[in-house]
Amino acid sequence: MERNEFLKSLGLGVAMVCTGACFSACGKKSDSPEPSKPNGGGGVPSGTTASVDLGTQLLAVGSSVVVNSILFIRTAAGNATTSFAATQAICPHQGGALSFIQASNYIQCGLHSSRYSTSGSILAQPNDGGTTSALKVYPLTVSGNTLTATA
Ligand code: FES
């Protein structure tokens, strides 16, 4: 083999190796798995706090309010922490808005009608055939007239 032929074949070989490596790298998808959908979303970032003024809000049993994506519900009379519940206000299924339905004493999603108890457990799955997960429930403190939930 002549020197010229050898160099040509060497160049072609290197080009083939580089091209193969490039195709391999470019065609490869991320090694990380798909995000787990549809469940697991809708919580607020850890450390987030939200407060309610009990002098003007949540005065009646069954009333509710959303502050900082946390759904506060008055479940009983009095201003002890046990008189309230605080859950995520965004549905873990696909992000629908959650509301407390006082007449039925459950939390319902406005998008696919999943239902949850005030303790966050699932009462009904979404009506689109999907599945949801339990709601995050946040601990509460009361200081004077201020009710605070911490995510
Ligand atoms: S987004 Fe709430 S049930 Fe689908």
Residue 8's pLDDT is what?
Answer: 53
Return the best residue to mutate from 88, 90, 91 for the ligand 1 pocket (most ligand atoms within 8 A of CB): 91
Residue 28's pLDDT is what?
Answer: 38
Residue 43's pLDDT is what?
Answer: 81
Return the best residue to mutate from 37, 90, 94, 135 for the ligand 1 pocket (most ligand atoms within 8 A of CB): 94
Name all contacts of 45-52 with Cβ < 8 Å and 24+ positions apart: 45/151, 46/151, 47/150, 47/151, 48/150, 48/151, 49/148, 49/149, 49/150, 49/151, 50/86, 50/148, 50/149, 51/146, 51/147, 51/148, 51/149, 52/146, 52/147, 52/148
Q: Which atom of ligand 1 is nearest to the CA of 128?
A: 4
Residue 2's pLDDT is what?
Answer: 57
Low-confidence ranges of the chain (pLDDT < 70): 1-40
Measured by CA distance, the residue closest to atom 4 of ligand 1 is: 112
Any residues with CB less than 8 A from the CB of 69 and at least 6 apart, and which? 44, 48, 50, 88, 89, 90
20 alpha carbon – ligand 1 mean position (Å):
45
State if residue 112 touches ligand 1 by the CB under 6 angstroms criterion.
yes
